Amino acid sequence: FGCDIKNREGRIKIRIGDILNKKNGSKVIGINDKLQNSIDTIGPNSLHSQFLRRYPQNDLDRMFSEALSSEAENGRVSMGKTFRCPMGDEEYLFLVMSELEAEKAPSTERRYLRTALESFFRNQSKFEIKDKRLYIPVLGKGSAAMRNLDYFDTVKMIAGEYVYSQCIYPNSANRIEELVIVLQLQDLFRMGCMSFVKMKKLQSDIRHMSELCSDCLMVHEA
């Protein structure tokens, strides 16, 4: 699935596959506000863990330590804080989009995710988006359930925040010209055959959002 944003140099695509294997674009990985960076303390099946296994030598520990020392309040950094981590020809962007509760798995709520996405897309010109293409997963979902937002609403929120940003920041330098939302096939199968019916509805909703972006500001959609 793919659609252009009306009257803007922007395009949204939905693809199925492994985001870490995608080429010719920057990739987003979600992290928690305490910047945990150990396979022993983050989900073993998370993209973050997969990254650490693929790239055991990286600069994340240094960047996270510096941020916690200089920017953190009560040992937490703000939602939407983004860390750029190039690895050879690959470009990764670590986005803070969940809150870590004491001795519990990180939790992502609608307000956290929206705040993170708004901040990220508002500041997109500050990042080096490779080939002006951004790969983003269904943040906060993976194998775990989000508290008050289902899988397809999450995809719709990501697309909506991108469309909104293209409307209100049309002249941003280094802007994202193509947003690719990457789904995992096992997630769709896990949700059953109705997931493919919902996918059709999702595609229709995203196409409608992209057509709303003309000369006026687009209305936020939850």
**Would you say residue 219 has pLDDT above 60?**
no
Residue 221, pLDDT score: 42
In the block, residue with structure tokens 């990985």: 29
Residue 78 amino acid letter = S
Mean pLDDT of 40-44: 80
**Would you say residue 143 has pLDDT above 90?**
no
* pTM of the shown model: 0.88
Question: What residue ranges in 53-211 does DSSP mark as E strands?
Answer: 82-87, 90-98, 133-137, 178-183
d(CA 62, CA 98): 20
Residue, of 40 and 7, whose pLDDT is higher: 40
CA 130 remoteness from chain centre: 15
Q: Three-class SS of residue 105? A: coil
Contacts of 37 (CB under 8 A, 6+ apart): 31, 48, 52, 60, 61, 64
Residue 102, pLDDT score: 57
Residue 171, pLDDT score: 61
Residue 4 amino acid letter = D
Contacts of 186 (CB under 8 A, 6+ apart): none
Residue 167, pLDDT score: 80
Tell me: the pLDDT tens digits for 167-201?
A: 877 666 678 999 999 998 888 888 888 888 888 99
Mean pLDDT of 114-134: 91
Residue 110, pLDDT score: 83
Mean pLDDT of 54-62: 94
d(CA 12, CA 178): 6
